[in-house]
Structure 1
């Protein structure tokens, strides 16, 4: 057995040796390619997409200062792409300042608060113009102050009031050159106090919000209305069509027939039942009550929306049949949010207040598209009627004052009043007297304050989609400390808490790197808030900025002929070092239109008389 195994091993070793010593064979042919593998699984979304909202850099890259304080020297702003210029209404000089942005840097200026790197040239308009009346005859109209401007391509439209605000105003049209110089085209008559105007997205119409405010004695109270001026090949029509608040008002509910709202009394009853606020002397008509404030137009140009601030409503304008439907905005329940309601403690302090409500009362509104639908963004400033012949303004403490309204609070409201500090607590809050005691039984159950201290998003039917709640107050207080709710006429914190807070005044919407943002500026405190509103149902806060120095000492009074009058105890010495006061309007400029290639936000500040240009970029 052993011999047989040894023999086998010897033979195998011999065979191995032969194999190792032989020549290698020729290279074989390449085999066919193997079958392609199945596609791999998609990778995970990158970090920037996951971590929404995206953070933004907010930087001042230019600033223009008129050196005129408290006189609305820099109010409404627009942008002209061809000349790379910002246009700003200067009411103090009754002109438009054309501010060159051609050499705007991409780096932030050294000190955004005191920067004065931008310059302007004046754009003036005549004191009188000729317009066509309803019969086609030429009439001469004397012009007062410009209230609003709008630019479409190289066309400029200016809304100008009459010297007496209750008289009809006019819209002036100009063709702008490559340097921003205007060539007069035509003037078209508008309604009383044309306060704001805008082009439709295709430039075929200009819509004018004629506010129709009364004189202070209510001897004359013109109707609010909408003027619609058509343009054909860049030429405005001789006369405007008018959408009035009487026969042009409609109610879309199928539960109503035309006969249910064919008189002023019927329209007023329906609107009041829906929640529209009426505040004025007896005999005031619906058209006198509704005072158009600000217009935004849907992307398709068929529908527009107008804020009716004092009435706490938004009007839906049908530009195809020239009708308007009024939608009440409802009330904000301050038991659900924190509000600082008194200026006496001089600190930022928030409390939930049951039976206290806010009226949204938006000033500026803007609109954008999501999933093919229109959404309206509102800056909920609040406003009252406060004239010599009629005022709805009252403090809560005056409601129970025997020498004022002499009412009684309900048990619940009295307990809240006492718990918050009485006269120096909730008693300081300003509310409307028009809604104090609707059933006139002498007992006050609810209080309604001006504004909502927020911004909101509404769908195209004016149903609320989003409200920022108490964000503005809490964010501002967290950043500014006791400077929050400061007025724009002095650096004194908390002195607007009893009124309308920081007063969200201006709003615009724009896209940056595929995301849609809302930019909201507060008139009194000067805060700028930025929210990601790409999906209105998933709105998120992104950034806060305030271009103001609260360490300076100054005081001015914009109700005086000379807001800086030393004889009246005013001192404007340090206003130039104080930054931006009283942002009144904001204009977003997309990157593709921007002079420096980055998205911009242009802000007009009426009290400091400054125009500030922010660069808004992703971090």
Structure 2
């Protein structure tokens, strides 16, 4: 069980900004590392995705934080991590692309990645999101002027640069239009980057550098078992109903193997992972992640917001992993994938995948099968309030739900690159946050409310970063709803262990309530701290301005970008 070991804190340079008076901290006995919030940059924008994805460039000591609300990337000077300072923003509007198009007003920056030599790539979605987007290029040490752009697929939602720096890999999510009138294909773009970058230009930015991996090879009967393709069949932007599988699969996140040859792509709603051969820009494999059994020991959940508090227990429900964030690392020469099992439902136009368990059997939905183990647990304090998928779990004849499938695993997992599960954190996130947060257990991020998210996805693990400290490998997992970061030692994947949970949030401040009562959003946010961690990046000691490892966290609800110092603890084993 977690203990309460406190971390040794070194003096912070200057006066820390954006750090709450009493950060929440719960560590395992004998923890080797801890996290100390050093400072934050705040946009003052509440619940508008003003800080989403964050990347770091060591030579310029700059952080790049995606402000989707403003459609730009905020550039921060973090030479003094206690006082991040905005320099300017990278603007993509008006940038001329290699295919002759121009990025228009209303386009939205979604993701950013930086190569060590300072080449910055920014994924930009079209204003209508179902049209093809762009990948814009900047100089990390420059003044914000764009160096060019490439056209990529629909809704480029995440971009990463391969370890060898030769390519950018872009997950083109291809979400449907909000009214479900059009559904573009999901694809993965592989963009060959210029080998040499002087900081003044990126060489000839040619559209020939862009290659696209599709999912056409898995259409129809060739779709592997368990990969979820469901819901209305909606035509693509060209009006065609061809390639239903490709229109249904929505790439969410990308990680690349150490040798830069293979990309692994999370397909969240499909509960699947795809493998991409980067040399050929071809999808070579696709597999389902399956589900976890919440009735098994150590895999419990709190399924109800009406049970009076933290009540984590084993119940006859299965959890679809449905990861958002995805990372990779090597252990003893073998590559492993790390997933943050957030969960996400398809809800577009008049189609909504989720329903509460107690509503199954109403409004045309099939009921829970009478012989199901869940049949006697349909009250509000048990499974009745839990939101589950209506697209999974039906009996063979479709007359009733023989199994219930919740969205997300409320955990993080480690997998082989063949799709075999090596480790899952089980119910650790809910048990740790129950101990650490008390009356803020399973709270929402816009307000503080006990048990508020238990009927949905609990603490909602959103993103994950992996880094090495003193010869050991750690996974840092951001909890979107509960807020804060959970750290596990994953040096030996099969024996991964909880290390610490830290949250730079004042749970006594309910920002949504304060705003409803007339408070200025920026004022309320100034005391609340970080709400809704969305993107994490690990900065090794060799690249850090403090010469100690750092963790940068972008929180979309509070619009803050916060730097944590990774402390080595003298009491560690």
Question: Normalised by the size of structure 1, how large is the TM-score?
Answer: 0.81
CA distance, structure 1, for counterparts of residue 560 and residue 212 of structure 2:
35
The 8 Å contact of residues 565 and 571 in structure 1, kept in 2 or not, is answered as no
How far does residue 570 in structure 1 lie from its aligned partner after superposition? Answer: 10
The 8 Å contact of residues 431 and 448 in structure 1, kept in 2 or not, is answered as yes
Give yes or no for the alignment of 1:308 onto 2:267: yes
Give yes or no for the alignment of 1:604 onto 2:550: no
Q: 2:188 aligns with which of 226, 235, 241?
A: 226
Q: 1:83 aligns with which of 60, 65, 69?
A: 60
Q: 1:429 aligns with which of 386, 389, 398?
A: 386
Residue 410 of structure 1 corresponds to which residue in structure 2?
370
Residue 160 of structure 1 corresponds to which residue in structure 2?
124
The 8 Å contact of residues 230 and 237 in structure 1, kept in 2 or not, is answered as no
Write out per-residue CA displacement over residues 290-330 of structure 1, whole angstroms, 9 at most, x where no aligned residue.
Answer: 10000000000011100000000011111133222111001
Give yes or no for the alignment of 1:462 onto 2:423: no
Write out per-residue CA displacement over residues 148-174 of structure 1, whole angstroms, 9 at most, x where no aligned residue.
Answer: 000002100000000000011000011
How far does residue 473 in structure 1 lie from its aligned partner after superposition? Answer: 0.4
Q: Cα–Cα, structure 1 residues 238 and 443, in superposed 2: closer, same or farther, change >3 Å?
A: closer
Residue 388 of structure 1 corresponds to which residue in structure 2?
349
The 8 Å contact of residues 155 and 175 in structure 1, kept in 2 or not, is answered as yes
The 8 Å contact of residues 367 and 375 in structure 1, kept in 2 or not, is answered as yes
Give yes or no for the alignment of 1:543 onto 2:500: yes
Write out per-residue CA displacement over residues 189-230 of structure 1, whole angstroms, 9 at most, x where no aligned residue.
Answer: 010000000111011000000000001232210000001110
CA distance, structure 2, for counterparts of residue 84 and residue 571 of structure 1:
30
How far does residue 77 in structure 1 lie from its aligned partner after superposition? Answer: 0.6
486-495 vs 545-554, greater mean Cα deviation: 545-554
How far does residue 414 in structure 1 lie from its aligned partner after superposition? Answer: 4.9
The 8 Å contact of residues 45 and 521 in structure 2, kept in 1 or not, is answered as no
Q: Cα–Cα, structure 1 residues 438 and 228, in superposed 2: closer, same or farther, change >3 Å?
A: farther
Q: Cα–Cα, structure 1 residues 394 and 570, in superposed 2: closer, same or farther, change >3 Å?
A: farther
Residue 483 of structure 1 corresponds to which residue in structure 2?
440
Q: Cα–Cα, structure 1 residues 202 and 192, in superposed 2: closer, same or farther, change >3 Å?
A: same
How far does residue 391 in structure 1 lie from its aligned partner after superposition? Answer: 1.4
The 8 Å contact of residues 476 and 527 in structure 1, kept in 2 or not, is answered as no
Write out per-residue CA displacement over residues 56-106 of structure 1, whole angstroms, 9 at most, x where no aligned residue.
Answer: 13111111111111111111111011111111111222222211111236x
The 8 Å contact of residues 398 and 404 in structure 1, kept in 2 or not, is answered as no
Q: 1:67 aligns with which of 44, 57, 82?
A: 44
**Secondary structure, in 3 states, of the residue corresponding to 2:468?**
strand
Residue 215 of structure 2 corresponds to which residue in structure 1?
245
Q: 2:85 aligns with which of 97, 115, 119?
A: 119
**Secondary structure, in 3 states, of the residue corresponding to 2:506?**
coil
Gaps of 5+ in 1: 1-50, 106-116, 250-263, 557-562
Q: Of the two, which has the highest radius of gyration?
A: 1
CA distance, structure 2, for counterparts of residue 76 and residue 160 of structure 1:
13
Residue 163 of structure 2 corresponds to which residue in structure 1?
201
CA distance, structure 1, for counterparts of residue 147 and residue 508 of structure 2:
48
How far does residue 428 in structure 1 lie from its aligned partner after superposition? Answer: 0.5
How far does residue 52 in structure 1 lie from its aligned partner after superposition? Answer: 10
Residue 466 of structure 2 corresponds to which residue in structure 1?
509
How far does residue 573 in structure 1 lie from its aligned partner after superposition? Answer: 5.4
The 8 Å contact of residues 95 and 122 in structure 1, kept in 2 or not, is answered as no
CA distance, structure 2, for counterparts of residue 369 and residue 320 of structure 1:
21
Residue 265 of structure 1 corresponds to which residue in structure 2?
220
The 8 Å contact of residues 90 and 145 in structure 2, kept in 1 or not, is answered as no
Q: 1:288 aligns with which of 207, 227, 247?
A: 247
- How many residue pairs match? The answer is 521
How far does residue 526 in structure 1 lie from its aligned partner after superposition? Answer: 0.4
Q: 1:592 aligns with which of 542, 553, 558?
A: 542
CA distance, structure 1, for counterparts of residue 51 and residue 60 of structure 2:
19
How far does residue 613 in structure 1 lie from its aligned partner after superposition? Answer: 0.5
How far does residue 426 in structure 1 lie from its aligned partner after superposition? Answer: 0.7
Q: 1:277 aligns with which of 228, 236, 239?
A: 228
Q: When you count helix as a share of all residues, which structure comes out higher?
A: 1
In angstroms, what is the RMSD of aligned CA positions? 2.1
Q: Cα–Cα, structure 1 residues 370 and 169, in superposed 2: closer, same or farther, change >3 Å?
A: same
The 8 Å contact of residues 98 and 206 in structure 2, kept in 1 or not, is answered as no
The 8 Å contact of residues 459 and 479 in structure 2, kept in 1 or not, is answered as yes
The 8 Å contact of residues 346 and 482 in structure 1, kept in 2 or not, is answered as no
**Secondary structure, in 3 states, of the residue corresponding to 1:139?**
coil
Residue 22 of structure 2 corresponds to which residue in structure 1?
none
How far does residue 279 in structure 1 lie from its aligned partner after superposition? Answer: 2.4
CA distance, structure 2, for counterparts of residue 524 and residue 570 of structure 1:
22
Q: Cα–Cα, structure 1 residues 53 and 160, in superposed 2: closer, same or farther, change >3 Å?
A: farther
The 8 Å contact of residues 70 and 608 in structure 1, kept in 2 or not, is answered as yes
The 8 Å contact of residues 306 and 380 in structure 2, kept in 1 or not, is answered as no
Write out per-residue CA displacement over residues 578-615 of structure 1, whole angstroms, 9 at most, x where no aligned residue.
Answer: 11101001110000000011000000011111111000
**Secondary structure, in 3 states, of the residue corresponding to 1:413?**
coil
CA distance, structure 1, for counterparts of residue 526 and residue 397 of structure 2:
51
CA distance, structure 2, for counterparts of residue 83 and residue 160 of structure 1:
23
Q: Cα–Cα, structure 1 residues 492 and 125, in superposed 2: closer, same or farther, change >3 Å?
A: same
544-553 vs 291-300, greater mean Cα deviation: 544-553
**Secondary structure, in 3 states, of the residue corresponding to 2:377?**
helix
Q: Cα–Cα, structure 1 residues 580 and 469, in superposed 2: closer, same or farther, change >3 Å?
A: same
Gaps of 5+ in 2: 1-27, 197-202, 235-240
Residue 211 of structure 1 corresponds to which residue in structure 2?
173
CA distance, structure 1, for counterparts of residue 108 and residue 447 of structure 2:
26
